[in-house]
Chain A
């Protein structure tokens, strides 16, 4: 007997209608399409470091960073380890069942777990979107795909949505966070080394999803990076050398705690795509308007012999009236209705750390670039917010008495 989940929220079809046929398209909350919900970052503990709670609208995520001393991996003696634990419990939504445990974070830094799941030929789509030359492959692929139309039906592309398979959601979510934060080298692992080949810090960030209202990825990425920036590890010192060396750990009262060396602040921004055309049309060909622009682009950049063939493909296709609708920071309802999603990770220097589009609606590369531009603005806004919260907390934790004592010691009076 297959289990029928009666705990999923029921999306309102009027929402989809107002998004797709409205002019301009309207979201149920009347929020702008490219405007994220208000981000609320709070520091959970006034005494401990590295415990952050992030609220993105109703989405509620908490992250706690901890560090232990262990021995490093044999193939990487000069590096510490960093793991991210992302586990979804039924607490954030009863649609998620407990027990399916996707904890890749304990894997060695060199070993990257391969995607075991096939979510609508991830690879071909992902690459197809990033470069114009690969667009050829993409279109060819799409023609092949015509037969399995239901691969791009509602929710099929909403990988982060509840509609998708839960195990896949969890694996993709943890892989995304891993890619965004860990593999973009946001945390300097070499600074975690204490004694090469013997002792190092093992930093762990545990993400807890408390309430689900869409866009867990963006909230989690903000929570992880803020917690890493906020965390202080105890100071250690190696006394002596060689055989008789000793490792001394100083507590908070003896020596000031040391912040982690965070090299940059990567932040994920997730886009959801809605097609204004029927799904079938969208698979067959790309959007006419943008392809006119796109065609020139392809002409300039590609020396591919298939070029003519491809253009023929486009010319044969009937012109299309409107573009797909792209929204940022979708709520649970919007995520359920969406036909495709894409997560872009950027930092405030406009460096693209990763781009992930696993299945769903096909989107022009030009639109992807537009998305990156939108994402960049959001990232700048959120980075400012993170820095503001952290600065306010440092101010709050200042021990004025201790500072005065220290300043008296160092004061050089000039009489």
Chain B
């Protein structure tokens, strides 16, 4: 199982920013919004427009990054209170600093991006329907490895990623699930169970990170 670290409020020019790191995978995300919509055709009369751009650690964005953008949009548009920001845009940039996995996999980067975006959204003060966190696992010979390393991921038969909403400090509803590889129904269910318990664990650290940044930001000291 790989270690993880998180940090909020790193960049000055944007409204919210955060980094999240799963061992070798490191991602920094930034949120600006709600702002005026950059292109008038993107303006939505009843809800916010999410402009998400994912930037790879090396080279120019490819279809792989575009695919990640679509996935992130699916996750975020149901977690952000979109109706609260009609006619405006929420600008989201996800910069992959260290990829940490092979090109054919995206689970480490996606899980990392979701978690860093959650922290960045909180930092930006964007209204959310619920807290959410993500984790991933790999399955190999009926074994579930939560948060596998790069090598474990290479030798696995399937990998699963899911995002859970959090209420009362516990993983609550399944928001998003994504699997690649050959798997069975029972394996998927046991993977979901493993991920939800891992999300509980991550949540404890993430709460501390948020608490720390609230303490740091607190200006009304007497």
Contacts and interface: CB of A to CB of B under 8 A. Distances in A.
A212 interface: yes
Contacts of B17: 91
A98 interface: yes
Given A94-B13, A97-B38, A204-B59, A89 B53 contact: yes
Contacts of B60: 85, 87, 101, 103
A1 B57 contact: no
A92 B36 contact: no
Given A45-B98, A98-B53, A64 B91 contact: no
A218 interface: no
Contact of B95 (A9, A58, A91, A213): A91
A221 B11 CA distance: 21
A169 interface: no
Q: Count chain B CB atoms within 10 A of each CB in A48, A87, A92, A101 and give the residue with the most.
A: A92
A60 B11 contact: yes
Given A91-B93, A92-B13, A98-B53, A206 B59 contact: yes
Interface string A194-226: 000000000010101011110000000000000
A211 B19 CA distance: 14
Contact of A98 (B11, B12, B36, B93): B93
Contacts, number: 84
Q: Count chain A CB atoms within 10 A of each CB in B13, B60, B91, B97 and give the residue with the most.
A: B13
- Report whether over half of chain A's contact residues are helix, strand or loop; otherwise say mixed: loop
Contact of A44 (B58, B95, B98): B98
A93 B35 CA distance: 13
A62 B58 contact: no
Nearest to A213: B12
B72 to A, nearest CB: 14
B30 interface: yes
A44 to B, nearest CB: 7
A79 to B, nearest CB: 21
A48 B57 CA distance: 13
B55 interface: yes
A97 B57 CA distance: 19
Interface residues of A, number: 37
Query: Which bracket fits the contact residues of B?
Result: 20 to 34
A208 B13 contact: no
B190 to A, nearest CB: 32
Contacts of B32: 7, 90, 94
A90 B93 contact: yes
Interface in A16-45: 44-45
Contacts of B12: 58, 211, 213
Interface in A115-153: none
A206 B58 contact: yes
Contacts of B93: 89-91, 98
Contact of B36 (A3, A44, A89, A213): A3
Interface in A72-94: 85, 87, 89-94
Nearest to A208: B95
Nearest to A66: B58
B104 to A, nearest CB: 17
A232 interface: no
Contact of B38 (A3, A206, A211): A3
A332 B24 CA distance: 33
Interface string B117-130: 00000000000000
A400 interface: no
B62 to A, nearest CB: 13
Contacts of B11: 60, 91-92, 210-211
A89 B55 contact: yes
B13 A212 contact: yes
B55 A87 contact: yes
Interface in A375-412: none
A206 B60 CA distance: 9
Contacts of A58: 12
Contacts of A62: 97
Nearest to B98: A45
B68 to A, nearest CB: 15
B91 A206 contact: no
Given A64-B58, A204-B58, A210 B28 contact: yes
A19 B30 CA distance: 33
A6 to B, nearest CB: 6
Contacts of B35: 6-7, 94
A51 interface: yes
Q: Count chain A CB atoms within 10 A of each CB in B40, B55, B58 and give the residue with the most.
A: B58
A4 interface: yes
B109 to A, nearest CB: 15
A3 B95 CA distance: 26
Interface of B: 10-14, 17, 24, 26, 28, 30, 32, 35-36, 38-40, 51, 53, 55, 57-60, 91, 93, 95, 97-98
Interface of A: 1, 3-7, 9, 44-45, 47-48, 51, 58, 60, 62, 64, 66, 85, 87, 89-94, 97-98, 101, 103, 204, 206, 208, 210-213, 332
5 contacts: A94-B13, A98-B53, A206-B57, A206-B58, A213-B12
Given A211-B12, A212-B13, 18 more contacts: A1-B40, A3-B38, A5-B36, A7-B35, A51-B98, A60-B11, A64-B57, A66-B59, A89-B55, A90-B93, A91-B28, A91-B95, A92-B11, A94-B91, A97-B38, A206-B58, A210-B28, A211-B11
**What 10 pairs across the A-B complex have the smallest Cβ distances?**
A91-B93, A94-B32, A93-B13, A91-B30, A66-B58, A211-B11, A98-B53, A89-B93, A90-B91, A206-B58
